[in-house]
Amino acid sequence: MDFNRADGMDGEAGIMGTLQGKVAIVTGASSGIGRAIAERLAAEGATVVVNYNQSADKAKAVVAGIEAKGGKAVAVQADMSRVAEARRLVKEAVAKFGQLDILVNNAGLFFPKPLIETTEEEFDRIFALNAKGPYFAMQEAAKVITDGGRIVNISTYGTHLGFPGATAHLGSKGALEQYTKGLAHELAPRGVTVNTVSPGLTETHMMSDPFRQVGIQLSPFKRIGVPKDIADVVAFVVSEEARWMTGQNLHAGGGVVM
Ligand SMILES: NC(=O)c1ccc[n+]([C@@H]2O[C@H](COP(=O)([O-])OP(=O)(O)OC[C@H]3O[C@@H](n4cnc5c(N)ncnc54)[C@H](OP(=O)(O)O)[C@@H]3O)[C@@H](O)[C@H]2O)c1
């Protein structure tokens, strides 16, 4: 077993297989953190539903990359800010693969605007994607998810730090974190765990140079995160080894303190 490989694959044995036979949905998986999560879960043997909204070509490339390594994936378009589409995504996954074991609510928007400048339309837009869509995806998933299944919500380390100038954003992710705690109780009798993973500043399309420089300065590791840093944490949370952990928020933020 080669622990140094960055792609989650075993150089000699191919797919490692801790998630063999599982079906996972990863929302917003056409790029960034979602893409890395989809690739990581596929490398563990899960069949992955790669959700995207606008970037069909990128989603197809993610699927092709997974298949090229011997994994199984399918791209499914759904706008996760729309409740009907969030429900459809879950239904399509179950219709296609007969089960659902893992839901990762990753699709989200960063909205760095202070309260005083935020319009009602902007507030509704940010909450629709970061909070409302994931809520109803979880509701649909809760109806069908396999006993012992896993739900992971991707929030932000910013809620922990009180990241300045993004009040509505923090509120929407804060809501998601509270859904985690509530649903963890509701699904525990079936052995389903529900947890939050909160990335710190991570090198994706969301990143800009000012935030990158701040992140490098604040982290004791003197770098910002890369998507794989987050995907590896998610891979643990969805594993059998994490069965005793539910309703928690794992801060994957590179040790940043403010
Ligand atoms: N990067 C960071 O520093 C950071 C820090 C903390 C938390 N996070 C969180 O991590 C998650 C992923 O962020 P990222 O940095 O990886 O972003 P990203 O690289 O910009 O990717 C965003 C992904 O979300 C998808 N998406 C956007 N709107 C969608 C919608 N309405 N329905 C379905 N999918 C949608 C995009 O797909 P299409 O292009 O197909 O629309 C894309 O695949 C987010 O929840 C974000 O809040 C990121």
Please, are residues 120 and 168 in contact by the beta-carbon 8 Å criterion? no
- Any atom of ligand 1 within 6 Å of the Cβ of 30: yes
- Any atom of ligand 1 within 6 Å of the Cβ of 55: yes
Compute, in angstroms, the gap from residue 13 CA to the centroid of ligand 1: 32
Angle, CA 109 vertex, CA 108 and CA 113 arms, to 5°: 150
Q: Which CATH architecture has domain 23-242?
A: 3-Layer(aba) Sandwich (3.40)
Please, are residues 231 and 36 in contact by the beta-carbon 8 Å criterion? yes
Dihedral angle over CA of 94, 176, 37, 246, nearest 10: -80
Q: Which atom of ligand 1 is nearest to the CA of 52?
A: 40
State which residues of the chain have pLDDT below 70. Answer: 1-16
The CA distance from 187 to 191, in Å, is 7
Give the per-residue pLDDT at 17.
87
- The full set of domain ranges for the chain reads 23-242
